Amino acid sequence: MPLLNEYRTLLDQLAEADAPSLTEMPLEAARAMFRVAQPTRPDIVVGSVSEREIEGRNGSIPIRIYTPDSTGPHPITMMFHGGGWVIGDLETVDAQSRQVCNQVGCVVVAVDYRLAPEHRFPAAAEDCYDATVWTYENASHLGADSTLLAVAGDSAGGNLAAVVAQMARDNEGPPLVFQLLVYPVTNGHVFDTDSYRENSDGYMLTADSMHWFWDHYADARDRSNPYASPLCATDLSNLPPALIQVAEFDPLRDEGLQYAEALQAAGVETQSRCYEGFIHGFFSHFDTVPPTRVAMDDACMALQNIFHNERK
């Protein structure tokens, strides 16, 4: 299927602007650019929004808690932002957190994990896991149900959601009921898949930027660790059910689908969906690029279904 017309227009405008690439920018400029590209959305009104800092093994972790305007206790979705572990924060994940909170009717806990290269692997993964443990242990104070806890994220956030699911299993941690992995990064060793070759440049996320992200995040020797590259795990059994969503025009398409296949082979109930005509980043485009709304609807329906079935 051809690229969506809305994306073609957007990409043409970016090409005409001839702005420096992400990899050519100072870190703070790249982070600022990402905030502009993914602004907060207070117009998506939820019941309440609160911020706090919790204690993790490595110090304080800022979180933002979105609560629906309905009677609890509510299910919980942990939300880990994208940005290659290098850019992104609570602001850039605000829109999708609000939308999931409202559409699913769940508490959403967004995590402001430490960024690379100031804090390299496994800092981000440890912060996300510690925040998940804290949320599980304090669910009643959030008006939430600790038995209905899911992890979610897009891109690097999808990587972290997959990693937290493995960590929870390996450490007898919170009993997660679902993992929503949106165009997740799953393998830091392989950059020659069909999707990398077909979509290396010109579709927002580039092959060069993925190398840049990985080089900032993890040393070569660490990339075989499944907590960095979840596809490298030797055992994927006994993980929570998953939905993996990928875009047709995305370097990460194939490794996301490979992770879905590996989960299925390990006996994990897993669905995967490749959205034709989409590019990387579609999860935050649900109301700016209208055709992508189907992916948000699919994600929220999957969360609703699992929460409903587990509540029975």
Please state, as a whole number, how many other Cβ atoms lie within 10 Å of the Cβ of residue 125: 23
Instruction: Report in angstroms the alpha-carbon separations of 246 from 36, 145, 220, 272.
Output: 24, 29, 25, 8
Among 74, 216, 280, 285, the one annotated catalytic: 280
Classify the C-alpha dihedral 72-73-75-76 as positive or negative.
positive
Residue 135 near residue 78 (C-beta atoms within 8 A): yes
Among 250, 254, 284, 285, the one annotated catalytic: 250
Q: Which residues partner with 181 through β-bridges?
A: 153, 244
Helix (H) or strand (E) holding 248: strand 242-249
CB proximity list for 24: less than 8 A, separation 6 or greater = none
Among 155, 195, 209, 229, the one annotated catalytic: 155
Any catalytic annotation for residue 155? yes
Q: What are phi and psi of 232, to 5 degrees?
A: -80, -5
Long-range CB pairs of 48-51, under 8 A, 24+ apart, other chains included: 51/90
Any catalytic annotation for residue 60? no
What 3-state class would DSSP assign to 273?
Answer: strand
Question: Which pair of tokens denotes residue 176?
Answer: 């997660």
Please state, as a whole number, how many other Cβ atoms lie within 10 Å of the Cβ of residue 169: 17
117 CB-side CA count, 13 A: 10
The span from the CA of 295 to the CA of 28, in Å, is 31
Any catalytic annotation for residue 280? yes
Nearest to 164 by CA among 228, 243, 116: 228
303 residue type, one letter = L
226 residue type, one letter = P
List residues with catalytic annotation: 155, 250, 280
